[in-house]
Structure 1
Amino acid sequence: MESALQTVIFISLGAIIGANLRYFVAQYVSRLAGSAFPLGTLLINITASFILGFFLIWTSERVLADPRWHIFFAIGFCATYSTYSSYAFETFSLFEQGRWGFAALNVLLTNVVCFIAVALGAALARSIQRGS
Structure 2
Amino acid sequence: MKTYLLVGAGGFLGAMARYWVSGLALHFSTRFPLGTLLVNVLGSFFLGFLMTLVSETLLVSPETRLFLAIGFLGAFTTFSTFAYETNSLLEGGQFFLAFLNVVISLSLGLIGVRLGIWVAKTFLI
The alignment's TM-score, normalised by the length of structure 2, stands at: 0.96
Q: Residue in 2 aligned with 1:97?
A: 92
Q: Residue in 2 aligned with 1:26?
A: 22
Partner Cα distance (2:3, 2:119) in 1 = 29
Deviations 1:9-57 (A, max 9, x none): 0000100100000011111111x11311001110110000000000110
* Helix, strand or coil at the partner of 1:33: coil
Letter of the 2:116 counterpart: G
Deviations 1:86-131 (A, max 9, x none): 100000000000000000000001111100100000000000134x
1:8-47 alignment to 2 at 5 Å?
Answer: 8-30=4-26, 32-47=27-42
- RMSD of aligned C-alpha atoms? 1.0
The alignment's TM-score, normalised by the length of structure 1, stands at: 0.91
- Identity percentage over the alignment? 38
Tell me which stretches of 4 or more aligned residues in structure 1 moved more than 4 Å: none
Could you tell me which runs of 5 or more consecutive residues in structure 1 were left unpaired when the two chains were aligned: none
Partner Cα distance (1:117, 1:43) in 2 = 10
Letter of the 1:7 counterpart: T
Q: Residue in 2 aligned with 1:115?
A: 110
1:58–1:125 contact (8 Å) kept in structure 2 = yes
1:62–1:129 contact (8 Å) kept in structure 2 = no
1:46–1:110 contact (8 Å) kept in structure 2 = yes
How far 1:64 moved relative to its partner? 4.3
Q: Over alpha carbons, which structure has the higher Rg?
A: 1
Deviations 1:46-76 (A, max 9, x none): 0000000001101220234221011100000
Letter of the 1:78 counterpart: L
